[in-house]
Structure 1
Amino acid sequence: MTNTEVRTGRDILRVALRRNGGAMASGTLLMGCYQAAETAVPILLGVIVEFALRGGQLSSLGLALLALGLVMATVSYSWRFGMRILQKANTTEAHRWRVAVADHGLQPVARDVDLKSGEVLTIATEDADQTADIIEVVPLLVSSLVSVVITGVVLAVISVPLGVLVFVGTAAILSVLSVMSRRIGASTQTQQAKVARAGAKVSDLIAGLRPLHGFGGSYAAFQAYRRVSTEAKKQSIVVARVNGIYAGLALALNSLLAAAVTLWAGVLTFQGSITIGQLVMVVGLAQFLIEPLKLFSEMPKYVMIARASAERMALILAAPARMTPGVDVPGPSSGLEVSAVTHGTLRDLTFSVRPGEFVAIAAYEPQAAAELASLLSVEVPPSAYSGVVRVGKREIASLSIESVRTALLVNPSHHEVFAGTLRDNVDPSGTSSSVEEAVSAAMLTDVVALHSDGLDYAVRDRGANLSGGQRQRLSLARALAADPDILVLHDPTTAVDAVTEQLIARNVTALRRGRTTIVITSSPALLDVADRVIVLSDGTVTGEGTHRELLGRDSSYLLAVAR
């Protein structure tokens, strides 16, 4: 699914209908048979009553009863197999859209869409399911129409005014309800957006619960979530109210039409215009008509809901990429060059790292450190900053994202941990040959030894059963196990004690010997083992040398990194 195939919710619904045409045709045929057979039941009952009243032959009555049995069998099997086909197609289509949304959300080039991960999750689940409901809605709509048409035609044969009443009444009911269905679609779209925002907010809250507790901000964060959740609740109540009014009005109008048909048939019977058997037939059809009318009148609402959900999916599927990657690959050199880069707080930033060098970058401002990490990880498109970044002597703008990811790995400071096992987190692809060495270098061995399952110890979602330091070391082990040509570590030891930090610094140096490594840090232990330290102040390079040289000649550096 490419973003050229879908631009709007209409495009998404069109694609869904087109690729499920066969299943929908089969389902529509079977559901049409079901509705036609259901309509035939009161007709046959009227015929049977007419036979009985006229003293018809027993054999004819038996044939009518046999026909009734066949009709009931048709009702049962056509519904069973028709719904099986439609629900299978519905489920499959929902799966396709979930995969499509996930694929766009996980592509290496970020999409230009202002949605948080919690909102994307809602779109990939609830909205995908509601969009796929169109696969069932259309066949049910057509089959309900078949039932209404058959009923109207039969009633017109009995009495033309009765048939006209059914057709006119149905058109009037749909006209009234179509207005409300648009309101439901708009309200549902707003509700989904607010529920998604609430989900994103609680996701952020859970992720930051530990630091929030640390500085006493948990109550304020909870209050912020409560406000967002309250807005979602109020909108859900609005949607429920409109849905309730819609359902009640539809039932009332349908019942009113059925009652009008029944009363008119009674008047015609007293006038002698129709027989008792025909009256039974009309009353039966009028009672039966309520169900397909109810289904028929609800379909516009479901169409609007599917349309609203499809529009939300289009926000992701049609969103343009934030950058157009190149097609080249880095040269054989594993060096890194940053030349005259200006972005955010970074000003005319220029430095280079030779292949195999271990360089530490001491950024006095955390914002500058974060922006440099984002820039090197290609989270910031090259068109968004001035200057040039080169990997292996090739400009990063000319490289494919896959080749950049292979040659250059930036391990962020937020240390994502996933549900699974320790081994899954250290080696997600299952292809690393240096898992044990990475675990040892990151000083994660105590966590492994603490549990009888070792590396197969189960990790909860977001590493809830690990401490902050353990999560950080797990993230570091994952980066080391990937063993890229160029590794960038952003604050890899902020949550560990000083002794462990010293050991990690020596271990990382030994493990990465001969490969290019950059550590953005203010840790004296890591600064001390680096071949060279580059000092960033006010977003530009203000000093360079070994850690000990800088301590001896730069008082600002001494003040910033000494502990």
Structure 2
Amino acid sequence: MTTPGSAVLRGSLRLTRRRLVVGSLFGIGYQGGEALVPVLIGVVIDRAVATGDAGGLALWLGVLAATFLVLSLSWRFSARYSMYAAVEVERDLRMRLGRRILDPRGGAEAGHLPGAMISIATSDVRYVAGVADMVPRAVAAVVGVTVASVALLTMSVPLGLLVLLGTPPLLFLSQLVSRPLERRSAAQQEEAAQAAGVAADLVRGVRVLKGIGAEEHARERYRRVSRRSLHATVATARAQGGYEGAVLALNGLFLALVALVGGLLALHGSITVGELVSAVGLAQFLAGPMQSAGDIAAVWAIGRASAVRIAGVLEAPWAIAAGETIPAEPVRGELRLESVAEVPGGPGVDLVAVPGTVLGVVADPPAAAALLAWLGRERDPGGGRLLLDGRPFADLDPDALRGAVLVSAHDADLFGGTLHENLTAVAAGDPSGAIAAAAADTVAAALPAGHDTAVAERGSSLSGGQRQRVALARALAAHTPVLVLHDPTTAVDTVTEARIAESLRELRADRTTVLLTSSPALLAVADSVVVLREGRVAATGTHSALLRDDAAYRATVLS
């Protein structure tokens, strides 16, 4: 039965088979030449040294030198093509992982922390590429053993049979002792990915951790996961050391047996002195191919464990159902939710955002997170449906839909680069109006190099309020038919917030805007407000009317 990991390995090897074939051919030249060297030395001894033939000595020394030249060049080009193959596999797997992770249907990241995804795309890909690098060596090792066996059979049938019959069990035992290494390697890679994921998660939220005084808890959490990763790594290292020691011992015993049998045959006159020298040299030569066979088994075991993890990302189920229809042009911007619920049969939300209006939505954090995920097409609701201009979200192409409905989350990230590059990343036309509406012009004015000021990754070089204003300006500059904003001004002072609210309504006058917030300043400019409680619409009306008539609403937005 084909496993996902085996499919990834085989697919990667098929991709670069031309380079693997060329590398294997050069590898055959290398290992074949290596195997011929002790044979030629034995010929030199029997046909030149023992007979005193100077001409014969010169001839066979020339043949030996030519053999060295061929095998050295073959090794060089075999290594080059093996490396090319490994690099091609790395590139292909990273491109496939990138396409899957960025696919608009989502789902690849489910169950993985960001750091774990990075570990899969780097370390695991490198281990799988290592399998491709080892294939030419494996082919060359088999050929080397074959040439040595044929040479030994020519000199002595008992020696040749000993090698031919002894090598398969030796390789089987090497594969057998590699299984614990494969299991421990899989566990070690999983723990290492978890440690990387936790580290990335903690670094990303370091300001929040400091703000709530949770640094010690965070340190302890990382200590635990790091300790598990260390123990798994040590266990893997022990398994690898034990494996390599076992393989070395098996090879040593086998080669000692070959040398012993050859010596006994020479003592009884069954082989010549030159053939004895050749037999001992071939026995020593066989250590290389057999060690390669052991290394190949270890690389294959580790690579297969990594391939399983890669396959888990590549074959992850889609997060959303994706259609192929493009929203009708021009997009009017009517956003409708019909009995949308978290689970089938659960409480449903019904609301309509009328084109060209501002709709305020007040919801608790879980409901707000679910609404953002549905509108952003990160996942489908358990029940009901969402529609844009009367067309179900599930029928629309996700990329095209996101071009019409832009969701700007509360914790929207900024990119490494200049302030100007962040402000204009998704701009449709002149972004100056959006920059002014979001009060991001004051951010540029306060920075040393203005719009050319470098912004650190995730905007960590800016204050919370500056990051929010830049992210809001970027979202407004896209001028999408429907814009969903989640708490865009929580880190902004009240005066600036009031200015942003008025400017936002003016800038979005002919487009649909959904404000998912409890900010009184933003809700005051909304045409209508919907209050969600326990998964249902609990109240609707204008901000002023709800303040007057709904005590729970008043407590939520004025607290």
Give the match's secondary structure for 1:259.
helix
Distance 1:58 1:378 in 2: 84
Q: What's the counterpart of residue 341 of structure 2?
A: 342
CA distances 1:259-285 after superposition (whole Å, capped 9, x unpaired): 222233233333333222222212222
Residue 111 (structure 1) shift: 2.2
Conserved 8 A contact 1:333-1:393: no
Counterpart Cα distance in 1 of 2:204 and 2:69: 56
Whether the 8 Å contact between 1:346 and 1:540 is mirrored in structure 2 is no
Corresponding residue for 2:221?
224
Equivalent pair of 2:49/2:57 in contact (CA under 8 Å): no
8 Å CA contact 1:118, 1:200 repeated in 2: yes
- The Cα shift of 1:178 comes to 0.9
Is contact 2:48–2:56 with CA below 8 Å preserved after alignment?
no
Higher deviation after alignment, 336-345 or 77-86: 336-345
Distance in 1 separating the partners of 2:223 and 2:173: 37
1:288-309 C-alpha deviation (Å, 9 max, x unpaired):
2211110122212212222221
- Does 86-95 or 504-513 show the bigger shift? 504-513
Query: What per-residue deviation string (whole Å, max 9, x for no partner) do you get for residues 355-411 of structure 1?
Result: 110121122x22222222222112221xx4222321112122222212211110111
Aligned partner (choices 63, 78, 84) of residue 80 of structure 2 = 84
SS at match of 1:133: helix
2:471 aligned with 1:486: no
Cα drift, residue 44 of structure 1: 1.6
Secondary structure of the residue aligned to 1:529 is coil
CA drift at 1:421: 2.9
Pairing 1:291–2:288 present: yes
Post-superposition Cα deviations, 1:145-186, rounded to whole Å, max 9, x if no partner, equal: 111111122122222222222233322321221112222222
Q: Which amino acid aligns with 2:238?
A: R
SS in structure 2 of the partner of residue 108 of structure 1? coil
> RMSD of the TM alignment (CA)?
2.1
- 1:274 counterpart residue number: 271
- For 1:538, give the aligned amino acid: E
Distance apart, 1:99 and its partner CA: 0.8
| Alpha-carbon distance change, 397 to 7 in structure 1, aligned in 2, over 3 angstroms | farther
- Whole-angstrom CA distance in 2 between matches of 1:525 and 1:191: 52
- Identify which of 503, 507, 522 aligns with 1:511: 507
Quote the Cα distance in structure 2 between the aligned partners of 1:92 and 1:456: 38
Give the count of matched residue pairs.
Answer: 554
Q: Could you tell me which of 183, 190, 208 is aligned with 2:180?
A: 183
Deviations 1:492-528 (A, max 9, x none): 1112222222222222222222111111111111112
2:127–2:303 Cα contact (<8 Å) kept: yes
Matched AA of 1:8:
P
**Mapping 1:357-396, distance limit 5 Å:** 357-363=357-363, 365-381=364-380, 384-396=381-393
Greater Cα shift, 544-553 or 288-297? 544-553
- Out of 49, 59, 63, the position equivalent to 1:67 is 63
More divergent stretch after superposition (139-148 vs 7-16) = 7-16
Report 1:123-272 matches (<5 A). Answer: 123-272=120-269
Alignment-derived partner of residue 404 in structure 2: 407
- The corresponding residue for 2:332 is 333
Counterpart of 2:97, as a letter, is: V
Deviation at 1:452, TM superposition (A): 4.5
1:109 touches 1:321 (CA, 8 Å); kept in 2?
Answer: yes
Structure 1, 85-94 or 48-57: larger mean CA deviation:
48-57
For residues 442-481 of structure 1, give each alpha carbon's deviation from its aligned partner in whole angstroms, at most 9, with x where no partner exists.
Answer: 2223332344443333222332322222222222122112
Q: Is the 8 A contact 1:408 1:487 kept in 2?
A: yes
Shift of 1:190: 1.7
Q: Is the 8 A contact 1:119 1:197 kept in 2?
A: yes
1:210 partner SS: helix
Q: Is the 8 A contact 1:105 1:120 kept in 2?
A: no
**Cα distance between partner residues in 1 of 2:35 and 2:348:** 79
How many angstroms apart in 2 are the aligned matches of 1:79 and 1:196?
Answer: 36
Alignment partner, residue 103 of structure 2: 107
Q: Does 1:353 align with 2:353?
A: yes
SS at match of 2:539: strand
Structure 1, 537-546 or 342-351: larger mean CA deviation: 342-351
Report the Cα offset of residue 551 of structure 1. Answer: 2.1
Is 2:48–2:54's contact at 8 Å kept on the other side of the alignment?
no
Match of 1:423 in 2: 420
- 8 A contact 1:173–1:297 mirrored in 2: no
Are positions 1:17 and 2:13 aligned together? yes
Shift of the 415–7 alpha-carbon distance from structure 1 to 2, 3 Å rule, reads farther
TM-score by length of 2: 0.94
1:35 equivalent among 27, 31, 41 = 31
Farther off after superposition, 372-381 or 266-275:
266-275
Q: CA deviation at 1:529?
A: 1.9
Letter in 1 for 2:350: T
State the SS of the aligned residue for 2:469: helix
Counterparts in 2 of 1:413 and 1:470: CA distance versus 1, 3 Å? same
Taking the aligned partners of 2:264 and 2:453, their CA distance within structure 1 comes to 79
- Range 490-499 or range 116-125, more displaced: 116-125
Equivalent of residue 438 in structure 1, options 419, 434, 439: 434
| Residue identity in the other structure for 2:341 | T
Q: 1:473 and 2:472 equivalent?
A: no
Q: Does 1:58 align with 2:57?
A: no
Report the CA distance shift for 1:480/1:224 in structure 2 as closer, same or farther (over 3 A).
Answer: same
**Alpha-carbon distance in 1 for matches of 2:122, 2:421:** 25
Give the distance between the partners of 2:428 and 2:159, measured in 1 at CA: 77
What is the CA–CA distance in structure 2 between the aligned matches of 1:222 and 1:211, rounded to whole Å? 14
Cα distance, 1:446–1:390 mapped onto 2, change above 3 Å = same
* Cα offsets for 1:332-363 (capped at 9, x unmatched): 42111122222269833222111110121122
Moved over 6 A (4+): none
Unaligned runs of 5+ in 2: none
Percentage of identical aligned residues: 38
Q: TM-score, normalised by structure 1?
A: 0.93
1:52 to partner: Cα distance: 4.1
Q: How far apart, in 1, do the equivalents of 2:362 and 2:393 lie? A: 23
After TM superposition, the structure 1 stretch with the greater mean CA deviation from structure 2, 85-94 or 163-172, is 163-172
Output one character per residue of 1:4-50: Cα deviation in whole Å (capped at 9) or x when no partner: xx971122222222222221111111000000111111222222222
Counterpart residue number, 1:550: 546
Deviation at 1:94, TM superposition (A): 1.0
What is the CA–CA distance in structure 2 between the aligned matches of 1:329 and 1:157, rounded to whole Å?
Answer: 74
Partner of 1:3: none
CA distance in 2, matches of 1:489, 1:346: 26
CA distance in structure 1 between the aligned counterparts of 2:321 and 2:78, rounded to whole angstroms: 46
Q: Distance in 1 between matches of 2:499 and 2:519?
A: 13
Q: Which amino acid aligns with 1:165?
A: L
The answer (yes or no) to whether the contact 1:330–1:393 under 8 Å persists in 2 is no
Secondary structure at 1:487 match in 2: strand
Q: Which amino acid aligns with 2:535?
A: G
